[in-house]
A and B are shown apart, each in its own frame.
Chain A
Amino acid sequence: MTEETTLPVGPQHPALKEPASFELTVDGEEIVDASLALSHNHRGIEQAALSKSYLENIYLLERICGICSHSHTTAFVRAVEDLADVDVPPRARYIRSLVGELERIHSHMLWLGVAGHEIGFETLWQYAWRDREIVLDLLEALTGNRVHYAINTVGGVREDLNDEQREAICDGIADLRERMDFYAATVPEEETVRMRLAGVGTVSTERTRELCAVGPTARASGVDTDVRRDDPYAAYDELDFEVVTDDRGDLLARTVVRIREIQQSIDLIEQVLDRIPEGSIAPDTPIQARTAGLEEGIVTSRYEAPRGELFHFVASDGSDEPDRVHVRVPTLANWPTVVESLRGANLADTPIVVAGIDPCISCTSRIGVDVADGDDYTLDDLREYAFEYYGGGP
């Protein structure tokens, strides 16, 4: 006899320290259906962008995400440069790729740690996060910050790479390469990892295509796609790298793809340090002049963020504030594959299946409205409101 039960998972910390809620229909231990509710965290960024200048928006959009912040600024400035018809000097393009690859490493290492934690393999979590500190230190040395680098501006970058930083990066990534060789050799063969990830959360190549998934999630299901190769930006048309794919489509494949992508990023960083041309890092014109007198128009821009294809749409009405900014983050494109992977999975696998796409709720829930309607809510008011909403009482 079968008996189906519906279980709510979330919205508080379903797998990650961010809010998302899932309604799982289970028959015993097996999940037979799943649905998701995403937006518990409205931030109103797309609306806020309409009342800020293009330059202010670089810093606003950087705060869409605390992990892939450079992805958002690069996608946005690329769109604005297109609108303003500004050329980016070669040295600046290389620095954008350099920061982009360091960011990819830090994002993938963060994920590797989270994945370890979700499967109860805390040693992997601690190892991965310890080694991730190498990249965070390099990013701090280069830009002054661990996560919000503020390196991009319209027409170029704001900080040059000096010899001392270059040497530090060389040393840092040499250490990291050793660590990654270790992970690449051990993680896919490790018994705990295989037991929890092999054959779990599988999505077929065909289904991945239908669901229009992106990034490592798509590549681990055999879809050969990468914006860096297919629609090159920054310095990628002058750099050599391999687009890592795997046909298995399970969580183990996603892990292997991300580890090998870090190795590719290390190669890319070495090439950047080797080939970066001398020269200026931004046009000589004042930054305000670069975005003055923009034409009316609509531009789009794509970027290979750590989680996959990121898309920015910017419409200009000729004023100094955008008329519309639309952001499609990779996590939104990948959520449908989570629902797909949950169906048929074991209930206990929910956290790692959800974490499998490396979801970023902060990115996805950036749109929204001012629910407080202009009133100032204190913490006590919100507490009262919560009790009222959920029908309970203190």
Chain B
Amino acid sequence: MSSLETELRERAGDAIGRVVEEDRLRVAIDADRIDDVLDALAGAGVEHLTAITGVDSGEAIVVHYHFLARGTGDDRLVTLEATVAYDGSIPTITDRIPGAALYERELMDMVGVRVDGHPNPEPLLLADDYEGDPPLREGSS
């Protein structure tokens, strides 16, 4: 277990699930307890959010939060994976990390995950008058 992982587990407890991939730190998290995980990340000095990727797994939407543990000559990607039901929602992280605002809007547009508490949940990438399924859901037409 890496030292960062140990630190995160100590801080966020069982909000952090299994390690999905060893090379970089990629862990499953409990979406409803993302605040605890963000506290743990902030405590460990991980602040830079690189991107948020939404993937339709065929059964649910998996939201990948890609954070960067920054160090001179030693960057490490920390990916948190939260699974959200098709009609479910996740809490916003924009209140904690202002840089997430546009990425969460992209997530809402493209895979149709509702982000609760987003300060400006308007379409970002889709046309204003777009009517249709979120385009990156499987079987979207």
Contacts and interface: CB of A to CB of B under 8 A. Distances in A.
Contacts, number: 99
Contacts of B79: 300
A224 interface: yes
Contact of A311 (B66, B98, B101): B66
Question: In terms of DSSP, what is the predominant structure of the interface of chain A?
Answer: mixed
Contacts of B135: 47, 368-369
Contacts of A38: 124-125
B98 A367 contact: no
Given A211-B98, A230-B72, A311-B66, A302 B55 contact: no
Interface in A281-326: 298, 300, 302, 309, 311, 313, 315, 323-324, 326
Contacts of A209: 47-48
Given A39-B127, A47-B135, A365-B125, A224 B72 contact: yes
Interface of A: 35, 37-39, 42, 46-47, 209-213, 224-225, 227, 229-231, 298, 300, 302, 309, 311, 313, 315, 323-324, 326, 328, 332-333, 335-336, 365, 367-369, 371
Contacts of B71: 230
A120 to B, nearest CB: 31
Contacts of A213: 99
A39 B24 CA distance: 33
B74 A300 contact: no
A210 B75 CA distance: 18
Closest 5 CB pairs of A and B: A212-B99, A328-B51, A230-B75, A326-B53, A231-B75
A335 B105 CA distance: 13
9 contacts: A39-B126, A42-B125, A210-B97, A225-B48, A230-B75, A231-B75, A298-B64, A333-B99, A367-B110
